Amino acid sequence: MLNDRQLRLLLDNLTSAVLVLDEHLSLCYLNSAAEDLVAASSTRSIGLPLEEVVRESRSAEQALRSALASGEKYTVRRALWLLHNLEECTVDYSVTPLTELGLLLLEVQSMDRLLRIAREDALISAQETTRNLVRGMAHEVKNPLGGIRGAAQLLQRELKDLTQPEGEDLAEYTQIIIEEADRLRNLVDRMLGPRQPVKLLPVNVHSITERVAQLVEAECDGALEIKRDYDPSIPDIPADSEQLIQAVLNIARNAMQAIAENVGLAEGSLTIRTRVQRQFTIGRRHCALVCRIDIVDNGPGIPEDIRERIFYPMISGRAEGSGLGLSISQHIINQHRGLIKCESQPGQTEFQIYLPLASD
């Protein structure tokens, strides 16, 4: 037979959260997984009513009381719980009445991680499909551009041999064709993204963020307030320094331009923050430690109608924007086996870049 200490040890090693409620719906037991889920320790939670630790709805509370009275089990899918710290989580849970003891047993599975993985998988898949389509179109556009430019150069050479004034006028037109072909070629090259594969070497993340901050300060002549909030304990990360600078700079530059156009640089602020995050999942790959780079601005926010598509090529919230910067950043971070997330509302936009702290 197992004694009480052994039973508690078994329950504490379950990955499912287990909560036990008494007849008054007060907590009388939480295992370790439950403590992590509700962000509260057993010593502080036991004896408290469930609604002081986690809230769902009045109907959910009534269902718990009915189960205790009737002895019937039930399961709830995709319930939204509001924790005592005002954070939200989505859970599946099963309720089992222990009628002889006058207790309710709740087995809870957090769905946030699974839902996030599903969303990220769908986003990465859609972006990869779009990127392949754009790259195919870009190659098809680039080939005839070379022919047009070459033909214009030959024509310009022939026209320069003419002594008549009209020959000089026509040569100007051919120069326009050459310049516009070059402009389109440069645009296509940007659509294709970085040509070189990433070369992962140990890099201090703050050398990246400081370089980006210096470039942004130079572009806005120091008119924009840039705040640094760094975690100095972050070890070197495996990264391609030049490409990672480009990825972070694209995001920071977008923020600076949005502030300049809508708030004014003097009233704006840009925060660059670094942190270590534990037990994080990127796609379907679990990482014990990741480095997180946050880029936060107080601009107008991303328009709601494009918020879900900002990482797709040619999508921009600015009239003068090409819509390629974020797409390129996403491609570079994906090459680093990382992830970019964005949360935006009027007055604050936050991009979060997650990079594994260990190379595969």
Residues 248, 285 contacting (CB under 8 angstroms):
no
Domain coordinates in residue numbering, the chain: 4-110, 115-192, 201-356
- Residues 203-224 pLDDT 10s: 999 999 999 999 999 888 888 8
How many angstroms from the chain centroid is the CA of residue 326? 12
Confidence of residue 279 (pLDDT cuts 50, 70, 90): confident
User: For residue 294, is pLDDT > 90?
Assistant: yes
Q: Record the pTM.
A: 0.61
| Segment 57-85 mean pLDDT | 89
CA-CA distance, 296 to 312, in Å (whole number)?
21
Q: Superfamily assignment of 201-356 in CATH? A: Histidine kinase-like ATPase, C-terminal domain (3.30.565.10)
pLDDT of residue 293: 95
Task: Give the start-end residues of each E strand in the chain.
Answer: 17-21, 27-30, 54-55, 74-83, 88-98, 103-110, 201-203, 225-229, 237-239, 269-282, 285-297, 339-345, 348-356
For 4-110, give the CATH class. alpha beta
pLDDT of residue 169: 65
Instruction: Choose the most confident range, by mean pLDDT, from 130-139, 141-150, 225-234.
Output: 225-234
Give the orientation angle of helix 165-192 with respect to helix 112-160, to 10 degrees. 160
What are the beta bridge partners of residue 271?
A: 227, 296
Q: What is the CATH number of domain 115-192?
A: 1.10.287
User: For residue 165, is pLDDT > 80?
Assistant: no
User: For residue 185, is pLDDT > 70?
Assistant: yes
Give the list of residues 6+ apart from residue 91 with CB closer than 8 angstroms, or none.
37, 78, 79, 81, 108, 109, 110, 111
Task: Give the start-end residues of each E strand in 234-337.
Answer: 237-239, 269-282, 285-297
User: For residue 360, is pLDDT > 50?
Assistant: no
Least confident of 52-61, 72-81, 322-331: 322-331
Same CATH topology for 4-110 and 201-356: the answer is no
User: For residue 180, is pLDDT > 90?
Assistant: no
